[in-house]
Structure 1
């Protein structure tokens, strides 16, 4: 393979940003990546399919962690740390696949627009929790719709018969829906309360209240980037935010244990079930992909702020186990709340509690039953708000980092670009202030599984087949200063792709099930978010191929060769040139003709 500089390919050479900074502490990288697990929409979308299986369903997760999650984390971390650049410029390793970086920007923007609702909802409940009487409590909630709610369930059997006979939710299976006041509290922000906020929505009216809260969220994010845009300050902020989130989560979990039915929920969660383990084998391969956050290249950009010799091997294992801990803790909270609502039944009748978004909506009614309800509500929704902000600001930080690394002219206007980007996201997120937006974009999270699986497969192709296993092994050994076993490369080349293909098929199945309850409009939007990026990647590759000279085969080979692929620090760069065996591998004025086998 010929190592070329950008001059030799006719493109502008990569100019590193020497002012981009480093993490204040090496562990800030671990905290930032563990914070990606706070992407809690996985607990909302297809919850019953993924997380209603208990602790033993997570056991297969550790198997997948060893076989493809940690290896993929290593590849992402290697590309970012070796190149000291974001997920666009890191593809100097093989410019033909640089389109994956631009697709990652597109997917990150889509996920940020969608994920804004997960910060808006906690803010709504948090601010209302400062009122003397919680508006979703039995004292503050006015049952003007004459529905069966948690507040009027304890009625006599004769009254229950009368209520059920007149209940519009009563169906042929003799089941009636028990409405949760906190869910109704959120729904009342929309005009059509009973059209259903999650399925079959036909109303697209704006909720100006939610618009106002959404503006507040983006204002908070703008304030954060105004004061913590430097890498060291940003990493320190993330560290404290994540530690605060985990501390509040443990405090709330310790209090939730005393809720009615909580111990049954915990028992159900930790009880061994063979069928749970079997189901975990099927679906946990998809959950493992959540380690990379709502965007695709986040880990790659975050690792670019590491020191060159940072041991990403051990860090990848710590990150994987740290994220598993987050899933377990939130899974315990979810099970406790689910069983709390299941325990509230009229003995003579089967009632179904309307526990939509149990972590975000239904939980408020459970908190309203506690002593010092306002305090616990403030603590709980502060935890959810901080966790959502962690996900959003980390995603924005990685996108901006990648854009500044790729486009040199943007570095002179970092502040303007940052505020403009946040403003653009805030404007687009207003779509989620309608019932249409909340319903339709709930499928985006599942659709992303398809795209992310394909992009991981392409990453393995680019790094371990096009760039080559020997060069990858040589580079990572040079960077870490320790051997990298060949069997690890074998797993990356042959074993990990098998699980990614399976994840792709599972994602296709789950997305199909989700779209059965969505409109045709959402199907078209999903096709745009899935098909168009996958077409853009080879399309951009062909564009890079066309820019080269010679016949098609020669053009294609040059498009796949690394350009300006070297460490950014001069001392590391000189040592790397000595290891490679060609001191002119990146010289701008030399024609390099030596083939490196």
Structure 2
């Protein structure tokens, strides 16, 4: 394969952004990637697949982490760090697959639209916690019609359960559905107090209150980008936000240990169970994909701010274990909260407590039972708000980075583009200020599993097969300054794709099960936001092929060849030319010299 410059293909050469900056500290890259694990929708959509397994069910995660999560992190980090560019321009490695970069922008923006709900909910509870009496507490609940709530169970401790059971005449076919006040409080924003959670059978209801909170969230995000526009400052912001979120999470975890049933929940979390490990073999394939953020290509863009010699091999393992710690902490909190509500109904077969979005909605009622309830509610939901903001601003940052790297004319209008994108996201996210928007977000999150699996398979094809095993191994050894074992390449080429295909099948099954209970509209939205963009990848590849000259085979080969693929810093570039050999590398200077001669 001969290296080409963009001049040979008739396309505009890549112009690096010399003002893009670097991380202030190498560990900022680790913090930024660990922050991707705060993508908390995984704790909502995968509840039945993950949170009923416990610590023993996480064991398959470590196996998947070794065979394809860490290897994929290495590939993402290699492309971003070697090219010093975001997830669009990094595909100079093989322009035929550059459409993956544009699809990544679309998927990232699509995920940001629905992810705002995970920041809106904490803000709602934080602001209402400033009131002397919280509206979801038993004192401030008010009239909820004929619905039974857990407040009705406080009649007399153990007698409350039997009283409710007697009301049902011990009919095993009839259950008393008991609602969580905090869930009802949130549903009141949509004037919907039906028996279940938001369903597509209900009429679509728009909440202007939620719109106001949404505007506040996007306003906060705009202020953060105004105050921390550069990579070094932004990395420092992420570092402190992530540390703050983990500290608050740890404080809440310690406080939750004093809830009734908390120790049973913690014991259930750490108790070895074989069926948990069996279930983990399926569900952990979902969790592993969350390492790459709410969009796709985030790690690639984040690594582009590393120094050229940063040891991405060691950092990838640190990131993997750091994200595992986040999952374990949130898993423990979820188990404790679920057992707190389960403790109320354990004495009766006729009693069902509707716990929904336990980390987001049901948790507020558990907090209301504590001393200093207002304070603990503010602390807990501040942690959730910070976690959601971390994911959102990181995703926006990677999208902007990729756009500025690819399109030179946008660099002179960075502020306009930044606030224009935030304004666009704020407007389009109004769809998810309806009760149906909550359902849509769950379905789209699950459907994204299919897309991410396909994108990773194509990435392995582009890097390890089209670009080539030998060239990849040579480049990464040059960048790291250390050997890269052939067995690692073997895992990337042969083992990782097998598990990605398995993940694809699992995602297909889960997605199909989700859409059985959803409307045609949800399916239509999923096709537009998740599935159809994949067709753009081969379409753009054919467009690049058509731009070249010669027969089809020659056009295709030239479309797959790397263009302008070399380190951006001059010193590293000169050393790379010596390693590769000048006869195998052409660039602008050589092109001009040949034309003059």
Give your verdict on TM over 0.5: yes
How far apart in 1 are the matches of 2:415 and 2:196?
41
Contact 2:165 2:348 in 1 (8 A): no
Instruction: Report SS of the residue matched to 1:141.
Output: coil
* Superposed counterparts of 1:341-356, under 5 Å: 341-345=341-345, 347-356=347-356
Q: Are 2:146 and 1:146 aligned?
A: yes
Instruction: Report SS of the residue matched to 2:177.
Output: strand
**Between 193-202 and 457-466, the greater mean CA deviation after superposition:** 193-202
Give the structure 2 partner of residue 332 of structure 1: 332
How far apart in 1 are the matches of 2:574 and 2:51?
50
Contact 2:172 2:349 in 1 (8 A): no
Q: Are 2:172 and 1:160 aligned?
A: no
Give the structure 1 partner of residue 71 of structure 2: 71
Question: After superposition, what is the alpha-carbon deviation per residue over 1:547-591, rounded to whole angstroms, capped at 9, x for unaligned?
Answer: 000000000000000000000000000000000011672422646
Tell me the TM-score normalised to structure 2 length.
Answer: 0.96
How far apart in 2 are the matches of 1:180 and 1:538?
49
* Superposed counterparts of 1:102-501, under 5 Å: 102-155=102-155, 160=164, 163-164=167-168, 173-194=173-194, 196-345=196-345, 347-501=347-501
What's the CA shift for 1:528? 1.9
The structure-2 alpha-carbon separation of the partners of 1:460 and 1:349, relative to structure 1 and needing over 3 Å to count, comes to: closer
What's the CA shift for 1:353? 1.4
How far apart in 2 are the matches of 1:570 and 1:351?
70
Instruction: Report SS of the residue matched to 1:505.
Output: helix
Contact 1:228 1:237 in 2 (8 A): yes
The structure-2 alpha-carbon separation of the partners of 1:565 and 1:44, relative to structure 1 and needing over 3 Å to count, comes to: same
What's the CA shift for 1:144? 3.1
Question: After superposition, what is the alpha-carbon deviation per residue over 1:143-162, rounded to whole angstroms, capped at 9, x for unaligned?
Answer: 33132111002445785357
What's the CA shift for 1:398? 0.1
Question: After superposition, what is the alpha-carbon deviation per residue over 1:339-383, rounded to whole angstroms, capped at 9, x for unaligned?
Answer: 000001273453121110000000000000000001100100000
Contact 2:444 2:530 in 1 (8 A): no
The structure-2 alpha-carbon separation of the partners of 1:144 and 1:532, relative to structure 1 and needing over 3 Å to count, comes to: closer
What's the CA shift for 1:287? 1.3
Give the structure 2 partner of residue 595 of structure 1: none
Give the structure 2 partner of residue 27 of structure 1: 27
Contact 2:134 2:374 in 1 (8 A): yes
How far apart in 2 are the matches of 1:214 and 1:329?
28
Give the structure 1 partner of residue 595 of structure 2: none
Give the structure 2 partner of residue 95 of structure 1: 95
How far apart in 1 are the matches of 2:192 and 2:578?
69
Contact 2:464 2:472 in 1 (8 A): yes
How far apart in 2 are the matches of 1:109 and 1:171?
50
Number of corresponding residues:
588
Instruction: Report SS of the residue matched to 1:571.
Output: helix
Contact 2:467 2:561 in 1 (8 A): yes
The structure-2 alpha-carbon separation of the partners of 1:153 and 1:480, relative to structure 1 and needing over 3 Å to count, comes to: same
**Between 516-525 and 220-229, the greater mean CA deviation after superposition:** 516-525
Give the structure 2 partner of residue 506 of structure 1: 506
**Between 515-524 and 196-205, the greater mean CA deviation after superposition:** 196-205
What's the CA shift for 1:5? 0.2
Question: After superposition, what is the alpha-carbon deviation per residue over 1:266-322, rounded to whole angstroms, capped at 9, x for unaligned?
Answer: 000000001111111122122111100101100000000000000000000000000
Contact 1:154 1:346 in 2 (8 A): no
How far apart in 1 are the matches of 2:558 and 2:255?
61
What's the CA shift for 1:205? 2.2
- Note the aligned Cα RMSD (angstroms): 1.6
Instruction: Report SS of the residue matched to 1:317.
Output: helix
How far apart in 2 are the matches of 1:494 and 1:347?
52
The structure-2 alpha-carbon separation of the partners of 1:315 and 1:348, relative to structure 1 and needing over 3 Å to count, comes to: closer
| Structure 1 runs not aligned, ≥5 long | 593-597
How far apart in 1 are the matches of 2:348 and 2:557?
73
How far apart in 2 are the matches of 1:487 and 1:238?
35
What's the CA shift for 1:195? 7.0
Contact 1:201 1:435 in 2 (8 A): no
Question: After superposition, what is the alpha-carbon deviation per residue over 1:131-173, rounded to whole angstroms, capped at 9, x for unaligned?
Answer: 11111111111133132111002445785357547xxxx9973
Instruction: Report SS of the residue matched to 2:518.
Output: coil
| Structure 2 runs not aligned, ≥5 long | 593-597
How far apart in 1 are the matches of 2:582 and 2:51?
53
